[in-house]
Chain A
């Protein structure tokens, strides 16, 4: 047992050696480091953009979601019947959960601040408003508008979509762009590491040959390169992420109640940029491993 422990203690720690069996490379190391930093920096920004776009889309949808308004403008004696018809139509419209005619007094109360309490509101042709609540999926606005027109000519549907749609679509487009950028950054990182690893492998052909001659298996040789490029990429990505996170953290926040418009991360979203160095390192590991093993295989 003691013998075994002594032997164990003397066993060479391959990881201590593995960094030395390939000669240190000067320039390509710096370039890998810097490219990884730049890629991580960009990735953090793309992530921030994706999350911000997400938030924008959400808040813009939520601000106007689930509601619509029907406005009935008609002569006072007709108004009541038209409102009634509209309510009937709404009651049979799929997707509408609730419809409430705002009483004339309420509308007047709403208007009072603008026109003063003494205005003979009753004699004015103030349109009647019907507040509509809808399910999250909404309803067939076009169909409803047509039916309303047939039933109550004075009724006009405002589903807020005109406001919402372009904003939400912009936000969703932004998010898509950000995700595509992230994918491109990942691909570019993999390509960059592969090129650098291939250059290192080519430059160290003699080292690889000697290692193989003295009995090193391909995985051992590959590990020397994989470790080096993974650590290098990780270091670069950490630096790039830190810089980008700082930059994002110091961007101004514009929040006006419902619509929160700021570029950056909030709360738990901050965990995501932390993933960037890890993903970069894993990408480097896989890319180098593939490059090394395919090169070594072709050497047979």
Chain B
């Protein structure tokens, strides 16, 4: 689904991630971990094309991202659900409309019942009409996950999706992602929450990628 070949990235000439070679096969479940500032968010941005590798290649769905036009990139993103670390809502639209927006811009039908069900699933049914700035950090993250999966994308990239959630809600969110993985979705979660990774490993064949010394490593089973 996503393939990196010797890809590197650095901000302003300072190398942050180098020589990454990796394949995320369809239906796989990966965690991405590493200390704060290691480059987890940067890696995810590379995956959905907000940043381009300074060297090497990165392709998604078999297409080299460097060769995609802006609209090509937009079309590709309709197949990837992204939970951004800072959520990225449109602050002037209520939550329910924010959730529907990926469908609208893709020209797909918005089914109110499904939206309501989705909101209920992430525990936000009563907040459907709230504006994003009125939501708590945890509510925003749950909303962001709901928006990421509303189009039923093939890949889900989540950047610290449980960063603001209590343990119970984190587990619920995790089980939703595991459920989606069982339905065949490819999942990549950036997190530094080792408990979450352990819990996941008990339920699903998750692999752990670790960023260390600017390298992307596949962690051993021990963790």
Interface residues of A in 197-212 (CB under 8 A from B): 207, 209-212
Q: In the bound complex, what is the Cα–Cα distance between A24 and B78 (angstroms)?
A: 26
Q: Give the shortest distance, in Å, between A19 (CB) and chain B (any CB).
A: 12
Neighbouring B residues of A299 by C-beta, 8 Å:
70
Neighbouring A residues of B147 by C-beta, 8 Å:
214
B213 at the interface (CB under 8 A from A): no
Question: Is there an interface contact between B70 and A20, defined as CB atoms closer than 8 Å?
Answer: no
Q: Give the shortest distance, in Å, between A218 (CB) and chain B (any CB).
A: 6
> Can you list, as one digit per residue, whether each of A210-248 has a CB less than 8 Å from chain B (1) or not (0)?
111111111110000000000000000000000000000
Question: Is there an interface contact between B74 and A217, defined as CB atoms closer than 8 Å?
Answer: yes
Q: Which of B9-17, B89-97, B182-190, B199-207 contacts A (4 or more CB under 8 A)?
A: B89-97
Question: Is there an interface contact between A215 and B90, defined as CB atoms closer than 8 Å?
Answer: no
Question: Is there an interface contact between B110 and A220, defined as CB atoms closer than 8 Å?
Answer: no
Q: In the bound complex, what is the Cα–Cα distance between A20 and B50 (angstroms)?
A: 25
Interface residues of B in 102-143 (CB under 8 A from A): 102-111
Question: Is there an interface contact between A21 and B90, defined as CB atoms closer than 8 Å?
Answer: yes
Question: Is there an interface contact between B92 and A23, defined as CB atoms closer than 8 Å?
Answer: yes
Question: Is there an interface contact between A216 and B103, defined as CB atoms closer than 8 Å?
Answer: no
A268 at the interface (CB under 8 A from B): no
Question: Is there an interface contact between B90 and A207, defined as CB atoms closer than 8 Å?
Answer: yes
Neighbouring B residues of A2 by C-beta, 8 Å:
none
A92 at the interface (CB under 8 A from B): no
Question: Is there an interface contact between B101 and A217, defined as CB atoms closer than 8 Å?
Answer: no
A114 at the interface (CB under 8 A from B): no
A12-B110, A21-B101, A218-B71 known; A213-B50 Cβ under 8 A: yes
Q: In the bound complex, what is the Cα–Cα distance between A296 and B74 (angstroms)?
A: 12
Q: Give the shortest distance, in Å, between A226 (CB) and chain B (any CB).
A: 16
Neighbouring B residues of A219 by C-beta, 8 Å:
71
Q: In the bound complex, what is the Cα–Cα distance between A295 and B183 (angstroms)?
A: 40
A162 at the interface (CB under 8 A from B): no
Q: In the bound complex, what is the Cα–Cα distance between A20 and B91 (angstroms)?
A: 12
Residue in B50, B75, B84, B110 whose beta carbon sits within 8 Å of that of A215 in the complex = B75
Residue in B74, B92, B109 whose beta carbon sits within 8 Å of that of A216 in the complex = B74
Residue in A11, A209, A213, A218 whose beta carbon sits within 8 Å of that of B82 in the complex = A213
B146 at the interface (CB under 8 A from A): no
7 A-B pairs within 8 Å (CB atoms) are namely A14-B107, A210-B89, A212-B73, A213-B84, A215-B106, A215-B151, A296-B70
| Shortest beta-carbon contacts, A-B, top 4 | A216-B105, A10-B109, A215-B78, A23-B92
Extra contacts, 12 of them, besides A12-B107, A21-B105 (Cβ < 8 A), are A7-B109, A10-B109, A20-B93, A23-B91, A207-B90, A210-B88, A212-B70, A213-B88, A214-B101, A215-B105, A215-B106, A217-B70
